[in-house]
Chains A and B, each alone.
Chain A
Amino acid sequence: MPENCIYIARSSAIAARALAGEMMVMNSADSTFFTLNEVATAIFQAADGHTALRDIVRDQVCEQFDVDPEQAQADAEQFVAELSSHGILLVSSQPLSSEAP
């Protein structure tokens, strides 16, 4: 397994709803609210805890959107870091059990 392989899962402490191609996400701990664009939504929905981020980027992002793979991976890592800092996504170097509601 590559050193930088990370796994992501949606926190159970959130509410999420899809609307007009965007995902609305609210953290129940502090009521912070986020809207995710289509690419971010694809990553968020694939965050099952046992699919590696690089596989999500390859299968969900690069397959569906016209993006450079390296740039997509870098953007995805930045997006994951931001959402994990707000408790929306859980991140681990090991597979996680999904907490998705």
Chain B
Amino acid sequence: MAAAQKVVCVEIGGIPIALSTCDARFLDLLRQRYDGFLSSSRPEFELQFDLTRTGPASDDDVRVRRDGDEWLIERGDFHARWDPRTGRGSVRQNANPYSLDSVLRILHSLILAQRGGFLLHAASAICDGRAYLFSGVSGAGKTTMTRLAPADITLLTDEISYLRPSADGYAAFGTPFAGELARAGENCTAPVSALFFLEQGPENRVDELSSAEAVRRLMRNILFFAEDQGLVEKLLATACDFVARVPIRRLTFYPDARVWDQVRKFARDFQEVPQHA
């Protein structure tokens, strides 16, 4: 007789996904890793895990492509299929949590692309009720910005920001996907006030970026893996829409706590003189 499947529902970005497994230890891993994002909502999607021998996460390139009506998601350490029509999929992987994170991130990137959202290599945090995003290449200062944040700042993530369109722009959601900080973000959401591309320098300053440069930088930092013409067109349209609706700036910063004064000053100035009024 087959072992019974046990299920946890993990809700990131307001999208509940049921994760099921027969393995009790893997179930515990799921509960621990996504603590704070466990949900009693009715799942929109479902992934069934079939575990292989435990091993390390892979450095191989991931491939995400269509196979008939299904998505085929492959890397050295996992092999997954997902049918967007039924919302159901299966994953063969080892019990490595990094492989698990990768599969979930890819699935969310596919769902978000259809819905006009995206995952961004960026730290994000809520300050005075509004979300601020800090993006850049590895080493640019994403984790540093979160470490320098004052106590009243709510951390959404230090690594992967989760963005969805909303009635008045875009909303950022907390994610459990942590970077160097090794700490999950808070499971909450706020309207996006600005996206800053980080560069470290001798002083704190905020500079304008042309819309073309903003799209260029944004596209470089969006997590997207699918080899699919339709989704690529949608993603590019989403990036252009995001740039049109969200202030995007270059933030040169000296890594001490005063950089957050600069962020608050930008927020005050921008609210006083709306750029798109």
Binding site for B on A (CB under 8 A): 12-17, 19-22, 24, 26-31, 33, 35, 101
Contacts and interface: CB of A to CB of B under 8 A. Distances in A.
B228 interface: yes
B210 interface: yes
A28 B232 CA distance: 6
Contact of A26 (B211, B232, B243): B232
Contacts of A13: 229
Given A31-B224, A33-B219, A35-B216, A24 B240 contact: yes
Contacts of A16: 236
B212 A19 contact: yes
A47 B166 CA distance: 37
B215 interface: yes
A14 to B, nearest CB: 8
B113 to A, nearest CB: 11
A17 B240 contact: yes
A23 to B, nearest CB: 9
B212 A33 contact: no
B212 A24 contact: yes
A29 B225 CA distance: 10
Contact of B229 (A20, A21, A28): A28
Interface string B223-243: 011011101110111001001
A17 B237 contact: yes
B196 to A, nearest CB: 20
Nearest to A12: B229
A26 B231 CA distance: 11
Given A15-B233, A24-B212, 18 more contacts: A15-B236, A16-B236, A17-B240, A19-B212, A19-B215, A20-B212, A21-B212, A24-B216, A24-B219, A24-B236, A26-B219, A26-B232, A26-B236, A27-B232, A31-B224, A33-B220, A35-B212, A35-B216
B252 to A, nearest CB: 22
Category for how many chain B residues contact A: 20 to 34
Nearest to A23: B212
A88 B243 CA distance: 24
A22 B219 contact: no
A14 B230 CA distance: 9
B236 A31 contact: no
Shortest beta-carbon contacts, A-B, top 4: A28-B232, A15-B233, A22-B212, A28-B229
Contacts of A27: 232
A15 B229 contact: yes
Given A31-B224, A33-B220, A17 B236 contact: yes
B5 to A, nearest CB: 35
A27 B227 CA distance: 9
A12 B220 CA distance: 22
Contact of B232 (A22, A31, A35): A31
A20 B211 contact: yes
Contacts of B210: 20
26 contacts: A12-B229, A13-B229, A15-B229, A15-B232, A15-B233, A15-B237, A17-B237, A19-B215, A19-B243, A20-B210, A20-B211, A21-B212, A24-B215, A24-B240, A26-B232, A26-B235, A28-B227, A28-B228, A28-B231, A28-B232, A30-B227, A31-B224, A31-B225, A31-B227, A35-B215, A101-B229
